[in-house]
Chain A
Amino acid sequence: MKSSPEMLKVYKRVRSRTVHVVPDEIVVEILVRLPVKALTRFKSVSKAWCAIISDPFFIRLHLQQQSAKNQEQAPSFLIIPHTLYKAIDSESEFESVYPMLHCDGLFVLPTDTKVYVFNPATHDVLKLRNDQKDEWFYPTVGLGLDLLTSKYKVARFFYRSLNFKKRAYSMGVEIFTIGGDGVDSCWSTVEDCPFPIFPGVVVYFKGSLYLRIWYELVERPPQEFLRFNLENETFSLMCYPELLQPKGKHLDLIELCGELCVAQCLAEQIDIWMLRSDDGHEWVKQYVIRLPDAWNFEVFSVMPNDVKIIRWGSCLYHYDDAQKDTREMVRLDRLRYMNSKVDSFDFVGQEIFLFNILPYVESLIPVTKKRHHSLAK
């Protein structure tokens, strides 16, 4: 990037002939294309710029722009290396973590003590109060947008009691609204879940959380997914694709190309069904991935040229059906990370035993109230 002071000086001299101010609407058009770090820095340009960058409408516009960029060009992921108790000392706030979920640049991290919501791009972290009355285990924690209020909600599904042999259980559901007024800033209990939920599996898609039923706990389980609508906080059932082989094991819900998909793993192939919203909400068999050991793979992302990104262990692969080509794309355990303490790149090290990797889109969405916002007014 050229940013020579000479260039700027020349520019200033020429500009100063006519005092010229770029209109706000164009400033917005330009800023919306910038990454979060630059935008955060530019809050200190002027009060007007701080107000633009902190405006909820701008934040949503910026998110749309970033999402489109991810789909048009290259998808982006957040990689979370896990050590085995290495980094956890006696002062740590938690001992174990549960699966994370991403929504619009925000992550929810459930632990054995508290639930955290954070935005890695803005360094914003919200620690949710842990004031539920019930003991909870086998938790499933989801995060998503309530489309009516445009507020993000954390939903916690948990077992109060569970007897596997007797198929007896009691499930609770609690909701936390982020950025709500004082009244909302605690967990609220909603109606009990009509079916037992398979722990740790949850997908957010367009205003709802999708969950899997824990079949072993139900005598005659319906061949359906459970949908929890974040707007009215109620459950409903959603059918599988009709043509799907019955009792197919390994059914995964994923979001691909901005549509809800079900991946079914068969012996040597993975079928991907897409709920096409432009096609009368029909399940369509969109892709088939043929590989000798298909069951080892997890489908991650589909690029604009129809190349799929699939994962096996700590390795990501390119899968190109047209070219009959599968090749290694990146080994997560061989990635080097910027270590800001020593200002150089480091390997993650030997102690890592697994990597979480989640689709990610950078956003400005806040989870806590910022002090500097009051300055812009």
Chain B
Amino acid sequence: MEVDKGKGEAEETRKVAEADRDTVTLKSSDGKLFEVSKEAAARLSTVLAGMIAGGSIDDNGTDLKQIGSEALENVVDYCNKHANSIPSAALISSSISFNTAPFKEPEEWERKFVDRLSHDALFDLVEAANFLGMERLLDVTCHKISEMMKGKSPDQIREVFNIKNDYTKEELEEIRQELAWAFYDD
């Protein structure tokens, strides 16, 4: 991946060696190292972009103590796939700009990317995306989880999200009665 050399040279000399590298090295909580294209990392993650611009990238591996190796591998995998994907017609169409916040459906490859993940891996990836400020990856993973939740019962949801039911039996019955229509099948 070609980096913007012009910009790199214009910067102060202190980080010359680093600015010339095309990749950054990231270190997971369990000490594993991953390389990712600097361009993709800066474009897809606001946190990594900030670290690159601020020169706080470590050549020997930037510590990401909050992210496990499996999740970080998925993050890096996503960045690489994203760099290689061709944006769909919908993303590049220059139709008039709408007023609402942009909400783009997952692309086909993004769907496949999250579909192969286990529940665990998916939830870890959501948190990694959130921590690294990766808006698009957060969109795609949250979309996948919300798809899995449709049609599920509150009991199943508590199990998936590890939530304790803090309603009394009577309170729960009151809600079920008031909102009975929402408990029928979708």
Contact = CB atoms under 8 A, between A and B. Distances in A.
Contacts of A37: 181-182, 186
B57 to A, nearest CB: 26
B151 interface: yes
Contact of B103 (A2, A8, A69): A69
Given A64-B101, A372-B178, A19 B162 contact: yes
A67 B102 CA distance: 10
Interface string B130-171: 100000001000110111111111101111111111110001
Contacts of B103: 65, 68-69, 72
A15 interface: yes
Interface string B98-122: 1111111100000000000011100
B51 interface: no
A25 interface: yes
Interface string B69-108: 0000000000000000000001001011111111111000
B1 interface: no
B182 A258 contact: no
Contacts, number: 151
Contacts of B98: 68, 71, 257-258
A265 to B, nearest CB: 22
A372 B175 contact: yes
B166 A47 contact: yes
A15, A45, A372, A375 pick with most chain B CB within 10 angstroms: A45
**For the complex, would chain B's binding face be called helix, strand, loop or mixed by DSSP majority?**
helix
Contacts of B58: none
A368 to B, nearest CB: 11
B17 interface: no
A327 interface: no
A24 to B, nearest CB: 11
A64 B163 CA distance: 27
A38 B160 CA distance: 15
B179 interface: yes
A17 to B, nearest CB: 9
B182 A41 contact: yes
A64 B151 CA distance: 23
Nearest to B184: A340
Contacts of A371: 174, 178
B172 interface: yes
B43 interface: no
Nearest to A41: B182
B83 to A, nearest CB: 24
B34 interface: no
A29 interface: yes
Interface residues of B, number: 57
Contact of A43 (B126, B166, B175): B175
Contacts of B175: 43-44, 372, 375
B102 A1 contact: no
B176 interface: yes
Given A3-B156, A304-B95, A306-B95, A20 B100 contact: no
A100 B25 CA distance: 59
A123 interface: yes
B120 A30 contact: no
Contacts of B152: 3, 38
Q: Max chain B CB contacts within 10 Å: which of A34, A44, A340?
A: A44
Contact of A47 (B123, B167, B174): B167
B183 A41 contact: yes
B163 A41 contact: no
B144 to A, nearest CB: 9
A15 B174 contact: no
A22 B160 CA distance: 10
Nearest to A276: B96
Interface string A54-73: 00000000001101110111
Contacts of A48: 163, 166
A322 interface: no
A46 B166 CA distance: 6
A372 B99 contact: no
Contacts of A34: 146, 149-150
Nearest to B120: A14
Contact of B151 (A29, A38, A286, A370): A38
Contacts of A123: 181
B127 interface: yes
Contacts of A69: 103
Contacts of B90: 72, 304
Contact of A45 (B93, B118, B120, B158): B158
Contacts of A29: 126, 130, 138, 142
B121 to A, nearest CB: 10
8 contacts: A15-B120, A42-B154, A44-B167, A45-B157, A45-B165, A46-B166, A73-B105, A257-B98
Given A12-B159, A68-B100, 14 more contacts: A3-B152, A11-B159, A26-B127, A29-B126, A29-B138, A40-B179, A41-B179, A44-B175, A46-B165, A72-B90, A72-B105, A257-B96, A372-B179, A375-B171
